[in-house]
A and B are shown apart, each in its own frame.
Chain A
Protein backbone atom coordinates (compact mmCIF):
# COMPACT_ATOMS: atom_id res chain seq x y z
CA UNK A 1 0.00 0.00 0.00
CA UNK A 2 1.02 3.58 -0.57
CA UNK A 3 3.14 4.80 2.21
CA UNK A 4 4.28 8.37 2.45
CA UNK A 5 6.37 7.63 5.49
CA UNK A 6 8.39 4.94 3.73
CA UNK A 7 11.14 7.33 2.80
CA UNK A 8 11.41 8.37 6.41
CA UNK A 9 12.48 4.94 7.53
CA UNK A 10 14.98 4.57 4.72
CA UNK A 11 16.99 7.58 5.76
CA UNK A 12 19.58 6.64 8.36
CA UNK A 13 18.83 9.02 11.20
CA UNK A 14 21.67 11.14 12.44
CA UNK A 15 22.07 11.47 16.13
CA UNK A 16 21.39 14.42 18.37
CA UNK A 17 19.99 17.79 17.47
CA UNK A 18 20.24 17.50 13.67
CA UNK A 19 18.13 14.38 13.85
CA UNK A 20 15.52 16.00 16.05
CA UNK A 21 15.44 18.99 13.72
CA UNK A 22 15.06 16.81 10.67
CA UNK A 23 12.29 14.83 12.30
CA UNK A 24 10.47 18.02 13.21
CA UNK A 25 10.62 19.15 9.59
CA UNK A 26 9.46 15.72 8.47
CA UNK A 27 6.62 15.82 10.95
CA UNK A 28 5.63 19.27 9.71
CA UNK A 29 5.62 18.20 6.09
CA UNK A 30 3.87 14.91 6.62
CA UNK A 31 1.44 16.58 9.01
CA UNK A 32 0.64 19.42 6.67
CA UNK A 33 -0.09 17.01 3.82
CA UNK A 34 -2.44 15.13 6.12
CA UNK A 35 -3.98 18.50 6.93
CA UNK A 36 -4.49 19.26 3.24
CA UNK A 37 -6.16 15.90 2.74
CA UNK A 38 -8.20 16.29 5.91
CA UNK A 39 -9.51 19.64 4.67
CA UNK A 40 -11.14 17.91 1.71
CA UNK A 41 -12.86 15.41 3.98
CA UNK A 42 -13.92 17.93 6.53
CA UNK A 43 -15.42 20.41 4.06
CA UNK A 44 -17.38 17.72 2.25
CA UNK A 45 -18.47 16.17 5.52
CA UNK A 46 -19.48 19.52 6.90
CA UNK A 47 -21.74 20.13 3.96
CA UNK A 48 -23.04 16.73 2.93
CA UNK A 49 -22.38 14.59 6.00
CA UNK A 50 -20.70 12.02 3.82
CA UNK A 51 -17.23 10.54 3.78
CA UNK A 52 -15.81 11.08 0.33
CA UNK A 53 -14.05 7.77 0.37
CA UNK A 54 -12.50 8.43 -3.04
CA UNK A 55 -10.59 11.43 -1.71
CA UNK A 56 -7.39 9.40 -1.35
CA UNK A 57 -7.62 8.46 -5.01
CA UNK A 58 -7.95 12.11 -5.98
CA UNK A 59 -4.71 12.69 -4.11
CA UNK A 60 -3.15 9.84 -6.07
CA UNK A 61 -4.60 11.14 -9.34
CA UNK A 62 -3.13 14.57 -8.63
CA UNK A 63 0.31 13.09 -8.08
CA UNK A 64 0.11 11.01 -11.27
CA UNK A 65 -1.12 13.89 -13.37
CA UNK A 66 1.71 16.02 -12.04
CA UNK A 67 4.19 13.29 -12.87
CA UNK A 68 2.73 12.77 -16.32
CA UNK A 69 2.88 16.50 -17.10
CA UNK A 70 6.47 16.63 -15.87
CA UNK A 71 7.47 13.73 -18.08
CA UNK A 72 5.62 14.72 -21.25
CA UNK A 73 5.80 18.50 -21.31
CA UNK A 74 8.34 21.20 -20.78
CA UNK A 75 6.13 23.28 -18.56
CA UNK A 76 7.69 24.91 -15.54
CA UNK A 77 6.96 23.07 -12.33
CA UNK A 78 4.59 25.72 -11.03
CA UNK A 79 2.40 25.30 -14.13
CA UNK A 80 2.51 21.54 -13.73
CA UNK A 81 1.39 21.96 -10.17
CA UNK A 82 -1.51 24.18 -11.10
CA UNK A 83 -2.67 22.04 -14.04
CA UNK A 84 -2.55 18.84 -12.03
CA UNK A 85 -4.56 20.42 -9.22
CA UNK A 86 -7.11 21.67 -11.72
CA UNK A 87 -7.38 18.22 -13.28
CA UNK A 88 -7.96 16.67 -9.87
CA UNK A 89 -10.51 19.36 -9.06
CA UNK A 90 -12.33 18.48 -12.28
CA UNK A 91 -12.25 14.83 -11.30
CA UNK A 92 -13.76 15.69 -7.93
CA UNK A 93 -16.47 17.66 -9.69
CA UNK A 94 -17.32 14.74 -11.99
CA UNK A 95 -17.33 12.19 -9.17
CA UNK A 96 -19.78 14.25 -7.17
CA UNK A 97 -22.03 14.68 -10.18
CA UNK A 98 -22.03 11.05 -11.27
CA UNK A 99 -21.72 9.00 -8.11
CA UNK A 100 -22.93 11.12 -5.22
CA UNK A 101 -25.48 13.67 -6.34
CA UNK A 102 -28.04 11.14 -7.59
CA UNK A 103 -27.87 9.51 -4.18
CA UNK A 104 -28.53 12.63 -2.16
CA UNK A 105 -31.91 11.35 -1.12
CA UNK A 106 -30.49 7.97 -0.15
CA UNK A 107 -29.22 6.88 3.20
CA UNK A 108 -25.64 7.59 4.15
CA UNK A 109 -24.60 3.97 3.85
CA UNK A 110 -25.72 3.83 0.23
CA UNK A 111 -23.63 6.91 -0.57
CA UNK A 112 -20.66 5.52 1.31
CA UNK A 113 -20.75 2.27 -0.65
CA UNK A 114 -20.91 4.24 -3.88
CA UNK A 115 -17.91 6.26 -2.73
CA UNK A 116 -16.00 3.08 -1.95
CA UNK A 117 -16.87 1.91 -5.46
CA UNK A 118 -15.39 5.08 -6.94
CA UNK A 119 -12.26 4.63 -4.87
CA UNK A 120 -11.71 1.03 -5.94
CA UNK A 121 -12.49 1.88 -9.54
CA UNK A 122 -9.96 4.73 -9.75
CA UNK A 123 -7.29 2.84 -7.91
CA UNK A 124 -7.48 -0.23 -10.08
CA UNK A 125 -7.92 1.71 -13.27
CA UNK A 126 -4.67 3.49 -12.48
CA UNK A 127 -3.08 0.11 -11.76
CA UNK A 128 -3.97 -0.98 -15.27
CA UNK A 129 -3.11 2.29 -17.00
CA UNK A 130 0.13 3.04 -15.18
CA UNK A 131 1.17 -0.37 -13.96
CA UNK A 132 1.77 -1.38 -10.37
CA UNK A 133 5.38 -0.22 -10.11
CA UNK A 134 6.46 2.70 -7.99
CA UNK A 135 7.83 5.58 -10.04
CA UNK A 136 10.26 8.39 -9.40
CA UNK A 137 8.97 11.94 -9.52
CA UNK A 138 11.77 13.97 -11.14
CA UNK A 139 10.35 17.41 -10.46
CA UNK A 140 11.94 20.21 -12.47
CA UNK A 141 13.11 22.08 -9.46
CA UNK A 142 16.57 23.21 -8.56
CA UNK A 143 16.96 22.23 -4.99
CA UNK A 144 19.60 23.77 -2.82
CA UNK A 145 20.54 22.54 0.59
CA UNK A 146 21.32 25.03 3.28
CA UNK A 147 23.68 23.94 5.99
CA UNK A 148 22.86 25.68 9.19
CA UNK A 149 25.15 25.79 12.20
CA UNK A 150 25.01 22.67 14.37
CA UNK A 151 25.06 20.25 11.46
CA UNK A 152 21.45 20.97 10.57
CA UNK A 153 20.51 20.72 6.91
CA UNK A 154 17.46 22.30 5.34
CA UNK A 155 16.52 22.10 1.69
CA UNK A 156 14.79 24.68 -0.44
CA UNK A 157 12.23 21.99 -1.33
CA UNK A 158 11.24 21.75 2.30
CA UNK A 159 10.98 25.52 2.44
CA UNK A 160 8.81 25.66 -0.71
CA UNK A 161 6.51 23.00 0.65
CA UNK A 162 6.02 24.61 4.03
CA UNK A 163 5.53 28.01 2.44
CA UNK A 164 2.99 26.63 -0.01
CA UNK A 165 1.03 24.92 2.73
CA UNK A 166 0.95 28.06 4.87
CA UNK A 167 -0.23 30.14 1.92
CA UNK A 168 -2.91 27.61 1.00
CA UNK A 169 -4.24 27.35 4.51
CA UNK A 170 -4.32 31.09 5.01
CA UNK A 171 -6.00 31.47 1.63
CA UNK A 172 -8.58 28.87 2.50
CA UNK A 173 -9.30 30.52 5.82
CA UNK A 174 -9.78 33.84 4.03
CA UNK A 175 -11.97 32.25 1.40
CA UNK A 176 -14.22 30.58 3.91
CA UNK A 177 -14.45 33.49 6.33
CA UNK A 178 -14.42 36.50 4.04
CA UNK A 179 -15.85 35.71 0.63
CA UNK A 180 -19.39 35.28 -0.51
CA UNK A 181 -18.92 31.69 -1.60
CA UNK A 182 -17.28 30.92 1.73
CA UNK A 183 -20.23 32.39 3.53
CA UNK A 184 -22.54 30.29 1.39
CA UNK A 185 -20.52 27.19 2.26
CA UNK A 186 -20.84 27.89 5.95
CA UNK A 187 -24.54 28.52 5.60
CA UNK A 188 -25.09 25.25 3.75
CA UNK A 189 -23.03 23.40 6.33
CA UNK A 190 -25.12 24.80 9.12
CA UNK A 191 -28.52 24.07 7.69
CA UNK A 192 -29.15 23.06 4.09
CA UNK A 193 -32.84 23.74 4.21
CA UNK A 194 -32.53 27.21 5.64
CA UNK A 195 -29.72 28.00 3.21
CA UNK A 196 -31.95 27.02 0.32
CA UNK A 197 -34.74 29.19 1.61
CA UNK A 198 -32.30 32.07 1.71
CA UNK A 199 -31.73 31.54 -1.99
CA UNK A 200 -28.28 29.97 -1.83
CA UNK A 201 -27.66 27.71 -4.85
CA UNK A 202 -26.98 24.54 -2.87
CA UNK A 203 -25.81 22.42 -5.78
CA UNK A 204 -23.27 24.98 -6.89
CA UNK A 205 -21.93 25.32 -3.38
CA UNK A 206 -21.58 21.55 -3.07
CA UNK A 207 -19.81 21.31 -6.42
CA UNK A 208 -17.50 24.11 -5.39
CA UNK A 209 -16.69 22.34 -2.15
CA UNK A 210 -15.72 19.20 -4.03
CA UNK A 211 -13.60 21.19 -6.46
CA UNK A 212 -11.82 22.98 -3.66
CA UNK A 213 -11.26 19.88 -1.55
CA UNK A 214 -10.03 17.87 -4.53
CA UNK A 215 -7.61 20.60 -5.55
CA UNK A 216 -6.11 20.65 -2.06
CA UNK A 217 -5.93 16.86 -2.03
CA UNK A 218 -4.03 16.90 -5.31
CA UNK A 219 -1.57 19.45 -3.92
CA UNK A 220 -0.91 17.05 -1.05
CA UNK A 221 -0.37 14.22 -3.51
CA UNK A 222 2.15 16.15 -5.56
CA UNK A 223 3.99 17.33 -2.46
CA UNK A 224 4.34 13.80 -1.15
CA UNK A 225 5.23 12.49 -4.61
CA UNK A 226 8.01 15.03 -5.04
CA UNK A 227 9.25 15.00 -1.46
CA UNK A 228 9.62 11.23 -1.24
CA UNK A 229 10.28 10.93 -4.97
CA UNK A 230 7.76 8.17 -5.25
CA UNK A 231 4.37 7.76 -6.92
CA UNK A 232 2.28 4.60 -7.23
CA UNK A 233 -1.38 3.75 -7.88
CA UNK A 234 -2.03 2.61 -4.33
CA UNK A 235 -0.41 5.64 -2.75
CA UNK A 236 -3.76 7.27 -1.98
CA UNK A 237 -5.18 4.53 0.12
CA UNK A 238 -3.47 4.95 3.48
CA UNK A 239 -2.98 8.73 3.34
CA UNK A 240 -6.64 8.96 2.37
CA UNK A 241 -7.68 7.04 5.45
CA UNK A 242 -5.24 8.91 7.62
CA UNK A 243 -6.48 12.22 6.29
CA UNK A 244 -9.92 11.16 7.38
CA UNK A 245 -8.60 10.21 10.79
CA UNK A 246 -6.96 13.63 11.01
CA UNK A 247 -10.27 15.28 10.18
CA UNK A 248 -12.05 13.28 12.87
CA UNK A 249 -9.26 13.99 15.32
CA UNK A 250 -9.51 17.72 14.82
CA UNK A 251 -13.28 17.66 14.79
CA UNK A 252 -15.01 16.79 11.56
CA UNK A 253 -16.57 19.81 9.90
CA UNK A 254 -14.02 22.16 11.44
CA UNK A 255 -11.41 23.67 9.12
CA UNK A 256 -8.89 24.67 11.82
CA UNK A 257 -9.58 21.25 13.32
CA UNK A 258 -8.47 19.53 10.11
CA UNK A 259 -5.24 21.53 10.10
CA UNK A 260 -4.55 20.71 13.73
CA UNK A 261 -5.52 17.05 13.40
CA UNK A 262 -3.21 16.62 10.41
CA UNK A 263 -0.25 18.10 12.23
CA UNK A 264 -0.83 16.01 15.35
CA UNK A 265 -1.07 12.86 13.28
CA UNK A 266 2.01 13.76 11.26
CA UNK A 267 4.13 14.31 14.35
CA UNK A 268 2.77 11.18 16.01
CA UNK A 269 3.72 9.13 12.98
CA UNK A 270 7.19 10.56 12.72
CA UNK A 271 7.69 9.83 16.41
CA UNK A 272 6.30 6.37 15.79
CA UNK A 273 8.76 5.87 12.95
CA UNK A 274 11.60 6.35 15.39
CA UNK A 275 10.34 4.12 18.15
CA UNK A 276 8.33 1.38 16.44
CA UNK A 277 8.56 1.88 12.73
CA UNK A 278 6.78 -1.28 11.64
CA UNK A 279 3.63 -0.38 13.52
CA UNK A 280 3.56 3.17 12.22
CA UNK A 281 0.52 2.60 10.01
CA UNK A 282 -1.51 1.37 12.95
CA UNK A 283 -0.96 4.60 14.90
CA UNK A 284 -3.60 6.51 12.98
CA UNK A 285 -6.23 3.88 13.62
CA UNK A 286 -5.41 3.70 17.30
CA UNK A 287 -5.84 7.47 17.38
CA UNK A 288 -9.17 7.06 15.66
CA UNK A 289 -10.47 4.54 18.14
CA UNK A 290 -9.22 6.59 21.08
CA UNK A 291 -10.64 9.90 19.93
CA UNK A 292 -13.96 8.30 19.10
CA UNK A 293 -14.13 6.82 22.56
CA UNK A 294 -13.00 9.91 24.45
CA UNK A 295 -14.41 12.80 22.46
CA UNK A 296 -16.21 11.73 19.30
CA UNK A 297 -16.70 15.33 18.26
CA UNK A 298 -12.92 15.77 17.98
CA UNK A 299 -10.62 18.38 19.46
CA UNK A 300 -12.19 21.46 17.91
CA UNK A 301 -15.52 20.05 16.80
CA UNK A 302 -18.87 20.94 18.27
CA UNK A 303 -20.79 18.02 19.64
CA UNK A 304 -24.03 17.64 17.80
CA UNK A 305 -27.07 15.90 19.11
CA UNK A 306 -28.92 14.03 16.43
CA UNK A 307 -32.34 15.60 16.14
CA UNK A 308 -35.03 13.14 17.09
Chain B
Protein backbone atom coordinates (compact mmCIF):
# COMPACT_ATOMS: atom_id res chain seq x y z
CA UNK B 1 0.00 0.00 0.00
CA UNK B 2 1.18 3.47 -0.78
CA UNK B 3 2.22 5.23 2.42
CA UNK B 4 1.74 8.81 1.27
CA UNK B 5 -0.24 9.73 -1.77
CA UNK B 6 -0.43 13.32 -2.94
CA UNK B 7 -2.46 13.81 -6.06
CA UNK B 8 -2.62 16.92 -8.28
CA UNK B 9 -1.65 19.33 -5.51
CA UNK B 10 -1.82 23.03 -6.40
CA UNK B 11 -1.07 25.99 -4.19
CA UNK B 12 -0.37 29.59 -5.07
CA UNK B 13 0.57 32.57 -2.97
CA UNK B 14 -1.02 35.78 -4.17
CA UNK B 15 -0.84 34.77 -7.82
CA UNK B 16 2.53 33.04 -7.61
CA UNK B 17 1.99 29.35 -8.27
CA UNK B 18 4.29 27.63 -5.81
CA UNK B 19 2.90 24.22 -6.77
CA UNK B 20 0.82 23.32 -9.77
CA UNK B 21 -0.66 19.92 -10.22
CA UNK B 22 2.07 18.04 -8.40
CA UNK B 23 1.57 14.37 -7.59
CA UNK B 24 3.81 12.32 -5.38
CA UNK B 25 3.55 8.79 -4.03
CA UNK B 26 5.80 7.32 -1.37
CA UNK B 27 5.99 3.59 -0.72
CA UNK B 28 6.73 2.19 2.74
CA UNK B 29 10.43 1.88 3.45
CA UNK B 30 11.69 3.71 0.37
CA UNK B 31 14.02 6.69 0.20
CA UNK B 32 12.47 9.21 -2.15
CA UNK B 33 14.23 12.42 -3.11
CA UNK B 34 12.62 15.67 -4.10
CA UNK B 35 14.98 17.88 -6.05
CA UNK B 36 14.83 21.03 -8.11
CA UNK B 37 16.32 24.50 -8.32
CA UNK B 38 15.75 27.08 -5.57
CA UNK B 39 12.18 28.26 -5.41
CA UNK B 40 10.90 25.17 -7.21
CA UNK B 41 8.34 24.54 -4.47
CA UNK B 42 10.02 21.68 -2.62
CA UNK B 43 9.66 23.14 0.87
CA UNK B 44 6.14 24.20 0.01
CA UNK B 45 5.38 20.58 -0.87
CA UNK B 46 6.67 19.53 2.56
CA UNK B 47 4.44 22.10 4.19
CA UNK B 48 1.44 20.84 2.27
CA UNK B 49 2.16 17.22 3.06
CA UNK B 50 2.55 17.96 6.77
CA UNK B 51 -0.65 20.03 6.75
CA UNK B 52 1.07 23.29 7.66
CA UNK B 53 -0.26 24.72 4.40
CA UNK B 54 -3.57 23.72 2.96
CA UNK B 55 -3.49 23.09 -0.80
CA UNK B 56 -6.03 24.85 -3.00
CA UNK B 57 -6.55 21.76 -5.15
CA UNK B 58 -5.66 18.11 -4.92
CA UNK B 59 -6.02 15.17 -2.60
CA UNK B 60 -3.70 13.93 0.08
CA UNK B 61 -3.80 10.61 1.87
CA UNK B 62 -1.47 9.13 4.43
CA UNK B 63 -1.77 5.43 5.28
CA UNK B 64 -4.95 5.40 3.24
CA UNK B 65 -6.66 8.21 5.14
CA UNK B 66 -7.41 11.69 3.89
CA UNK B 67 -5.33 14.20 5.83
CA UNK B 68 -6.35 17.48 4.22
CA UNK B 69 -7.80 19.70 6.93
CA UNK B 70 -6.04 17.92 9.76
CA UNK B 71 -3.76 19.85 12.05
CA UNK B 72 -0.03 19.25 11.74
CA UNK B 73 0.15 17.56 15.13
CA UNK B 74 -2.50 15.06 14.11
CA UNK B 75 -0.52 14.12 11.03
CA UNK B 76 2.60 13.73 13.13
CA UNK B 77 0.71 11.44 15.49
CA UNK B 78 -0.28 9.33 12.47
CA UNK B 79 3.41 8.73 11.84
CA UNK B 80 4.87 11.51 9.72
CA UNK B 81 7.70 13.68 11.03
CA UNK B 82 9.84 16.37 9.50
CA UNK B 83 12.86 18.61 9.84
CA UNK B 84 13.04 22.25 8.76
CA UNK B 85 15.26 23.79 6.13
CA UNK B 86 15.78 26.84 8.33
CA UNK B 87 16.56 24.94 11.53
CA UNK B 88 13.74 25.35 14.05
CA UNK B 89 14.96 23.84 17.28
CA UNK B 90 13.68 24.83 20.71
CA UNK B 91 16.72 27.03 21.04
CA UNK B 92 16.93 27.71 24.77
CA UNK B 93 16.25 24.12 25.76
CA UNK B 94 18.87 21.42 26.14
CA UNK B 95 19.53 18.90 23.40
CA UNK B 96 17.98 16.17 25.52
CA UNK B 97 14.87 18.22 26.27
CA UNK B 98 14.38 18.94 22.58
CA UNK B 99 14.10 15.22 21.96
CA UNK B 100 11.98 14.59 25.06
CA UNK B 101 9.48 17.21 23.92
CA UNK B 102 9.10 15.45 20.60
CA UNK B 103 8.60 12.16 22.42
CA UNK B 104 5.68 13.86 24.22
CA UNK B 105 3.88 13.44 20.92
CA UNK B 106 2.82 10.10 22.39
CA UNK B 107 2.18 11.45 25.88
CA UNK B 108 -0.96 10.50 27.76
CA UNK B 109 -0.53 12.66 30.84
CA UNK B 110 -1.86 16.16 31.27
CA UNK B 111 -0.70 19.18 33.25
CA UNK B 112 -2.72 18.21 36.31
CA UNK B 113 -0.95 14.85 36.73
CA UNK B 114 2.32 16.69 36.20
CA UNK B 115 1.55 19.19 38.98
CA UNK B 116 0.57 16.40 41.34
CA UNK B 117 3.48 14.19 40.32
CA UNK B 118 1.39 11.06 39.83
CA UNK B 119 3.20 7.72 39.48
CA UNK B 120 1.91 7.33 35.91
CA UNK B 121 3.44 10.67 35.00
CA UNK B 122 6.78 9.68 36.55
CA UNK B 123 6.78 6.40 34.68
CA UNK B 124 6.12 8.21 31.43
CA UNK B 125 8.84 10.77 32.15
CA UNK B 126 11.33 7.96 32.72
CA UNK B 127 10.25 6.21 29.53
CA UNK B 128 10.61 9.34 27.39
CA UNK B 129 13.96 10.15 28.91
CA UNK B 130 15.33 6.74 28.07
CA UNK B 131 13.91 6.92 24.59
CA UNK B 132 15.51 10.31 24.06
CA UNK B 133 18.87 9.15 25.39
CA UNK B 134 18.78 6.16 23.07
CA UNK B 135 18.01 8.39 20.11
CA UNK B 136 20.84 10.75 20.97
CA UNK B 137 23.11 7.72 21.11
CA UNK B 138 21.84 6.58 17.70
CA UNK B 139 22.33 10.00 16.16
CA UNK B 140 25.67 10.54 17.85
CA UNK B 141 24.82 13.44 20.14
CA UNK B 142 25.13 11.72 23.50
CA UNK B 143 27.96 13.86 24.77
CA UNK B 144 25.97 17.01 23.98
CA UNK B 145 22.82 15.90 25.78
CA UNK B 146 22.98 18.68 28.36
CA UNK B 147 24.14 21.46 26.00
CA UNK B 148 21.78 24.23 25.07
CA UNK B 149 20.46 23.43 21.59
CA UNK B 150 21.24 26.82 20.07
CA UNK B 151 24.88 26.55 21.18
CA UNK B 152 25.52 23.48 19.00
CA UNK B 153 27.48 23.87 15.78
CA UNK B 154 25.37 23.98 12.66
CA UNK B 155 25.94 20.41 11.53
CA UNK B 156 24.98 19.02 14.91
CA UNK B 157 21.85 21.16 15.01
CA UNK B 158 20.76 19.51 11.78
CA UNK B 159 21.37 16.10 13.29
CA UNK B 160 19.41 17.10 16.38
CA UNK B 161 16.50 18.06 14.16
CA UNK B 162 16.56 14.52 12.79
CA UNK B 163 16.73 13.00 16.27
CA UNK B 164 13.80 15.14 17.32
CA UNK B 165 11.75 14.02 14.35
CA UNK B 166 12.59 10.37 15.04
CA UNK B 167 11.38 10.74 18.62
CA UNK B 168 7.81 11.01 17.37
CA UNK B 169 8.02 7.39 16.06
CA UNK B 170 7.41 8.23 12.40
CA UNK B 171 6.86 5.79 9.59
CA UNK B 172 7.78 8.49 7.13
CA UNK B 173 10.38 11.11 7.86
CA UNK B 174 10.77 14.23 5.75
CA UNK B 175 14.21 15.84 5.67
CA UNK B 176 14.51 19.34 4.22
CA UNK B 177 18.06 19.93 2.99
CA UNK B 178 19.70 18.04 5.85
CA UNK B 179 23.23 18.56 4.54
CA UNK B 180 22.95 22.30 3.92
CA UNK B 181 25.95 23.95 5.54
CA UNK B 182 27.66 20.66 6.34
CA UNK B 183 31.24 19.85 5.39
CA UNK B 184 32.21 16.73 3.45
CA UNK B 185 32.83 14.54 6.47
CA UNK B 186 29.51 15.53 8.00
CA UNK B 187 27.76 14.90 4.71
CA UNK B 188 29.22 11.40 4.51
CA UNK B 189 28.00 10.71 8.04
CA UNK B 190 24.57 11.90 7.03
CA UNK B 191 24.40 9.55 4.05
CA UNK B 192 25.15 6.76 6.47
CA UNK B 193 22.51 7.99 8.89
CA UNK B 194 19.85 8.01 6.19
CA UNK B 195 20.78 4.45 5.32
CA UNK B 196 20.45 3.48 8.98
CA UNK B 197 17.06 5.14 9.26
CA UNK B 198 15.92 3.24 6.22
CA UNK B 199 17.19 0.01 7.74
CA UNK B 200 14.76 0.51 10.62
CA UNK B 201 11.96 0.25 8.07
CA UNK B 202 11.06 3.93 7.87
CA UNK B 203 10.41 5.69 4.61
CA UNK B 204 12.36 8.88 3.90
CA UNK B 205 11.36 11.85 1.77
CA UNK B 206 14.44 13.92 1.17
CA UNK B 207 14.94 17.42 -0.20
CA UNK B 208 18.57 17.75 -1.12
CA UNK B 209 20.79 19.85 -3.33
CA UNK B 210 23.91 17.74 -3.03
CA UNK B 211 23.66 15.34 -5.98
CA UNK B 212 26.25 13.08 -4.44
CA UNK B 213 23.84 12.44 -1.58
CA UNK B 214 20.78 12.17 -3.79
CA UNK B 215 22.31 9.68 -6.21
CA UNK B 216 23.73 7.72 -3.33
CA UNK B 217 20.68 7.14 -1.18
CA UNK B 218 17.57 7.46 -3.35
CA UNK B 219 15.32 4.69 -4.58
CA UNK B 220 13.34 7.19 -6.56
CA UNK B 221 13.66 10.87 -7.47
CA UNK B 222 11.02 13.48 -8.21
CA UNK B 223 12.14 16.69 -9.89
CA UNK B 224 10.26 19.95 -9.46
CA UNK B 225 10.84 23.11 -11.43
CA UNK B 226 8.85 26.30 -10.91
CA UNK B 227 6.08 24.44 -9.13
CA UNK B 228 5.71 21.69 -11.71
CA UNK B 229 6.84 18.11 -11.69
CA UNK B 230 9.18 17.70 -14.65
CA UNK B 231 10.55 14.22 -14.09
CA UNK B 232 10.28 11.19 -11.88
CA UNK B 233 11.98 7.85 -11.72
CA UNK B 234 15.01 5.94 -10.49
CA UNK B 235 18.23 7.98 -10.13
CA UNK B 236 19.89 6.54 -13.23
CA UNK B 237 17.01 7.60 -15.48
CA UNK B 238 16.38 11.00 -13.92
CA UNK B 239 20.05 11.94 -14.28
CA UNK B 240 19.76 11.47 -18.03
CA UNK B 241 16.40 13.19 -18.46
CA UNK B 242 16.78 16.15 -20.87
CA UNK B 243 14.19 18.26 -19.02
CA UNK B 244 16.10 17.82 -15.79
CA UNK B 245 19.39 18.67 -17.41
CA UNK B 246 17.80 21.78 -18.84
CA UNK B 247 16.41 22.87 -15.48
CA UNK B 248 19.82 22.39 -13.94
CA UNK B 249 21.58 23.96 -16.91
CA UNK B 250 25.18 24.60 -16.13
CA UNK B 251 25.05 22.51 -13.02
CA UNK B 252 26.67 19.16 -12.75
CA UNK B 253 24.40 16.26 -11.96
Contacts and interface: CB of A to CB of B under 8 A. Distances in A.
B90 interface: no
A308 B84 contact: yes
A113 to B, nearest CB: 18
B14 A302 contact: yes
Contacts of B13: 305
Contacts of A302: 14
Interface string A273-308: 000000000000000000000000000001001001
Contacts of A308: 43, 47, 52-53, 84
Contacts of B43: 308
A73 B43 CA distance: 63
Query: Interface SS of chain B: helix, strand, loop or mixed?
Result: loop
Interface string B18-54: 0000000000000000000000000100010000110
Nearest to B50: A308
Interface string A25-67: 0000000000000000000000000000000000000000000
A305 to B, nearest CB: 6
Contacts of B84: 308
Contacts of B52: 308
Nearest to B82: A308
A305 B47 CA distance: 11
A16 B85 CA distance: 65
A305 B43 CA distance: 14
A73 to B, nearest CB: 50
Contacts of A305: 13, 53
B77 to A, nearest CB: 19
B193 to A, nearest CB: 24
Interface in B3-24: 13-14
B32 to A, nearest CB: 21
Interface string B147-176: 000000000000000000000000000000
Nearest to B85: A308
A305 B14 CA distance: 10
A305 B13 CA distance: 8
A305 B52 CA distance: 10
A302 B16 CA distance: 14
Interface in B47-83: 47, 52-53
Nearest to B88: A308
A301 B72 CA distance: 26
Interface string A197-209: 0000000000000
A41 B161 CA distance: 38
A302 B52 CA distance: 18
B44 to A, nearest CB: 9
A302 B43 CA distance: 22
Nearest to A190: B14
A302 B53 CA distance: 16
A235 to B, nearest CB: 39
Contacts of B47: 308
Interface in A206-228: none
A308 B49 CA distance: 13
Nearest to B14: A302
Nearest to B53: A305
Contacts of B14: 302
A58 to B, nearest CB: 32
B203 to A, nearest CB: 22
A151 B47 CA distance: 63
A210 to B, nearest CB: 27
A295 to B, nearest CB: 16
A300 to B, nearest CB: 14
Nearest to B54: A305
Nearest to B72: A308
Given A302-B14, A308-B47, 6 more contacts: A305-B13, A305-B53, A308-B43, A308-B52, A308-B53, A308-B84
Interface of A: 302, 305, 308
8 contacts: A302-B14, A305-B13, A305-B53, A308-B43, A308-B47, A308-B52, A308-B53, A308-B84
8 nearest CB pairs, A to B:
A308-B52, A308-B47, A305-B53, A302-B14, A305-B13, A308-B84, A308-B53, A308-B43
